C-alpha cells in the first residue's frame, strides 16, 4: 500500500491526480454548459431540463463526483504550489523576463493558473450558494423577487440581472476559460502523453474547448444584462 501512497504524493503523482480531476471537472463543465444554454430558448425548456436533472440520478452522480474531484484538484495543486514556491529559495530574482517565443497568452496562462484558480474557488463558492443551496427555496417559491415556485429560469435571470452578480459571473466564466486555456493541454502532459502528431491537436483543441467554455458561460450573464 505504501507504494501507492508514495506514488500519488510524489510531484508527478500529484500532477496526475490534478490532471485527472481537472479533466473530470472539464467534462462536467461541458455538460453544464450544454444544459445551461437552454436558458436562451424562449420556451420553458430550461425549467424542464432543470427539473428532470434534479429528479434524476445524474445530479447525485455530479454532486458526488464534484465533491471528490474539486477538493482533490485544489488540494493537489495547492500542495504542489507550496513545494514550488519553496524550491526557488529565500532569494528570488530582481528582474523577471523570458526567452520564450510562444504566444504571450499561452505563456501568461501557464504562469497564472494558480492565481486564476484561487479566484475561481471564490466564484464557485458563491455560485454553489446561489443555485445549488437555494434550490429548495426556488422550488417552493420562497426565493423572492417575484420568482414563482420551480421557475429556475426567472431565478437565474433575477440573480444575473443585478449588475454586481452579472459582472461576477462574467468574470468567473472568463477566468474558467483562461484557466483551461492552459489546463487542458497541461493535463495531458501530466499523464505523460506526448506524440508529434497528436500533441499539437491537443494543444489547439484544448485551447478551442477552453475558449468555447469560457465564452459560452460568459454569454449568459451578458445576455441577461443586455436584455
Q: Which residues bind ligand HEM (CB under 6 A)?
A: 15, 18-19, 22-23, 25-26, 29, 73-74, 77-78, 80-81, 113-114, 117-118, 120-121, 176, 179-180, 183-184, 186-187, 190
Burial string for 213-223 (b: 16+ CB within 10 Å, else e) reads: bbebbbbbbbe
The reply to whether 16 sits near another protein by the rule CB under 8 A is yes
The string of DSSP codes covering 156-173 is: HHHHHTSHHHHHHHHHHH
Report the residue number, 127 or 135, with the smaller CB distance to ligand HEM: 127
The reply to whether 184 sits near another protein by the rule CB under 8 A is no
Q: Which does 23 bind (CB under 5 to 8 A by kind): another protein, ligand HEM, none?
A: ligand HEM
Report the residue number, 28 or 79, with the smaller CB distance to another protein: 79
In the bound complex, what is the minimum distance in angstroms from residue 206's beta carbon to another protein? 12
Span near another protein by CB under 8 A; candidates 23-31, 64-72, 170-178, 182-190: 182-190
Distance, CA of 180 to CA of 174 (rounded, Å): 10
CA atoms within 13 A on the CB side of 84: 12
Q: Which of 55, 57, 89, 146 binds another protein (CB under 8 A)?
A: 89
Residue 126: CB atoms within 10 Å: 13
Which DSSP category does 103 fall into?
-
In the bound complex, what is the minimum distance in angstroms from residue 115's beta carbon to another protein? 12
Joined together, the cell numbers standing for residue 124 give 464557485
In the bound complex, what is the minimum distance in angstroms from residue 44's beta carbon to ligand HEM? 28
The reply to whether 83 sits near another protein by the rule CB under 8 A is yes
Task: Specify the length of the chain in residues.
Answer: 227
Write the CB contacts of 149 (distance below 8 Å, at least 6 apart in sequence): 138, 139, 140, 141
Report the residue number, 4 or 133, with the smaller CB distance to another protein: 4
Amino acid at each position: 500500500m505504501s507504494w501507492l501512497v508514495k506514488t500519488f504524493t510524489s510531484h508527478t503523482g500529484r500532477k496526475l491526480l490534478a490532471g485527472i480531476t481537472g479533466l473530470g471537472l472539464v467534462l462536467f463543465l461541458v455538460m453544464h454548459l450544454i444544459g445551461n444554454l437552454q436558458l436562451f430558448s424562449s420556451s420553458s425548456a430550461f425549467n424542464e431540463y432543470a427539473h428532470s436533472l434534479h429528479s434524476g440520478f445524474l445530479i447525485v452522480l455530479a454532486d458526488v463526483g464534484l465533491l471528490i474531484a474539486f477538493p482533490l484538484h485544489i488540494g493537489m495543486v495547492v500542495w504542489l504550489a507550496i513545494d514550488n514556491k519553496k524550491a526557488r529559495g529565500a532569494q528570488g530574482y530582481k528582474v523577471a523576463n523570458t526567452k520564450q517565443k510562444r504566444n504571450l497568452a499561452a505563456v501568461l496562462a501557464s504562469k497564472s493558473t494558480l492565481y486564476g484558480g484561487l479566484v475561481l474557488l471564490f466564484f464557485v463558492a458563491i455560485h454553489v450558494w446561489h443555485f445549488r443551496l437555494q434550490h429548495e427555496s426556488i422550488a417552493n417559491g420562497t426565493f423572492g423577487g417575484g420568482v414563482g415556485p420551480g421557475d429556475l429560469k426567472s431565478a437565474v435571470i433575477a440573480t444575473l440581472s443585478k449588475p454586481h452578480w452579472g459582472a461576477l459571473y462574467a468574470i468567473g466564466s472568463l477566468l474558467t476559460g483562461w484557466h483551461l486555456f492552459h489546463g487542458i493541454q497541461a493535463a495531458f502532459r501530466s499523464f505523460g502523453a506526448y506524440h508529434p502528431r497528436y500533441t499539437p491537436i491537443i494543444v489547439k483543441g484544448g485551447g478551442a474547448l477552453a475558449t468555447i467554455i469560457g465564452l459560452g458561460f460568459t454569454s449568459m450573464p451578458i445576455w441577461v444584462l443586455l436584455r
